A and B are shown apart, each in its own frame.
Chain A
């Protein structure tokens, strides 16, 4: 493992952890733990999958331990932790409200996508895995990932145009 790999993989795994835990602090802790384990066991990596997939599995295993410990808390769904945008130097209150409404509708529209489309969209567009990496994670050909992401984008675009025809 070297600096270049860490720079490429850290943001992707952090976003995955954030999406799964709903907490920036927990996501940071879990991502760091995953990297520490990976650095420690790097020499034993078997190369039977891509290194990022291997890292993803380490992260998910860490997540399982974390959720067992989290007996009193449950990971909030994405929609609950996503902050509303409040930019004091940005648009005025009516514009901010309109923008927040658009973002909320977009979040719901992503959540309402059919599962195969949503998985491909979330892995690539939100978390930042490449199409090839997502194909390996989801166990489908890369063309299928591209097709699902393309279809998801089209559906989201149609939903947003119907709700906000003026935008």
Chain B
């Protein structure tokens, strides 16, 4: 990145908020945002301008229409050979075990590709047929600690959405009390009943929040935005996630985990024909 070229920075930030930067560049750009006040201002300016302009033209109210149209287009996609939907649950014995292993392996591969972790992460098996969620490496935690230290201000409760695979990156001050006692990394993973990871996000929040911090679009499921409220207290984190189904009805789950505990399934819900399991993990950063 050319640090002296503001247009180069603007192009990088555009790619960052769209989730289009590959890992080394993404990391470099995040570090720049964390350490450079003018980069932070530019990012905030770009996000704020987009929000206001879209609001001014009524784009805020079209999410449902977009999701509806998108699901219709997806249903017209030709299904590749060999990926036909399983017909019945009566398929027992080794064929089922083999299929489950293949799906599990595909899930691990997909996750590994998405994570692109710098040093081999420890793999932790959640449950025999569930998804496999890698733990954060010490290097990743150190980076998050640095990010929190650089961005979170001491006079407001702040959250930072680190990764959501979409274009919603930012920080937002709340009207809560001053953030004290460091931060907690909250990871949420959505998985299908076959173990496939559908989406995930990670938010840094103060270790103790006065009121729930609301995140407008933490992830996307079936093309629809997932909204969440997250709260943290001494030794625990609570998360409420919800998404509108096709009929516009909110579905979701809420649950609490102990800080430091491995990923825990806090519930599941049905979104259209799909069963969605929700896993939550909270790691203290300081």
- The residues of A with any CB-CB pair to B shorter than 8 Å are 1-3, 6-7, 10-11, 14-15, 18-19, 24, 27-28, 31-32, 35-36, 39, 78, 81-83, 85, 103-104, 106-107, 110, 121, 124-126, 128, 130-132, 142-143, 146-147, 149-150, 153, 156-157
- The residues of B with any CB-CB pair to A shorter than 8 Å are 6-8, 10-11, 14-15, 18, 20, 45-46, 49-50, 52-59, 61-62, 65-66, 68-70, 72-74, 76-78, 167, 220, 223
CB-nearest residue of chain A to B60: A85
For residue A28, which residues in chain B have a CB less than 8 angstroms away from its CB? 65, 68-69
Contact call A2/B220, Cβ cutoff below 8 A: no
Shortest Cβ gap from A125 to chain B (Å): 5
**Distance A131 CA – B12 CA, assembled complex (angstroms):** 10
For residue A128, which residues in chain B have a CB less than 8 angstroms away from its CB? 167
**Distance A39 CA – B61 CA, assembled complex (angstroms):** 27
**Distance A15 CA – B59 CA, assembled complex (angstroms):** 8
* Known pairs A82-B56, A130-B18, A146-B11; A156 contacts B49 (CB<8 A): yes
Within the complex, which residue of B6, B8, B69, B78 is in contact with A32, where a contact is CB–CB below 8 Å? B69
For residue A85, which residues in chain B have a CB less than 8 angstroms away from its CB? 55
Contact call B7/A143, Cβ cutoff below 8 A: yes
**Distance A146 CA – B6 CA, assembled complex (angstroms):** 9
Within the complex, which residue of B11, B46, B54 is in contact with A142, where a contact is CB–CB below 8 Å? B11
Shortest Cβ gap from A107 to chain B (Å): 5
For residue B62, which residues in chain A have a CB less than 8 angstroms away from its CB? 14-15, 18, 24
Instruction: Please name 15 further chain A to chain B contacts, defined as beta carbons within 8 Å, in addition to the given A10-B73, A103-B55, A149-B10, sorted by A numbering.
Output: A14-B66, A18-B59, A18-B62, A24-B65, A31-B69, A32-B73, A36-B73, A36-B76, A78-B57, A83-B58, A85-B55, A107-B56, A143-B7, A146-B7, A156-B53
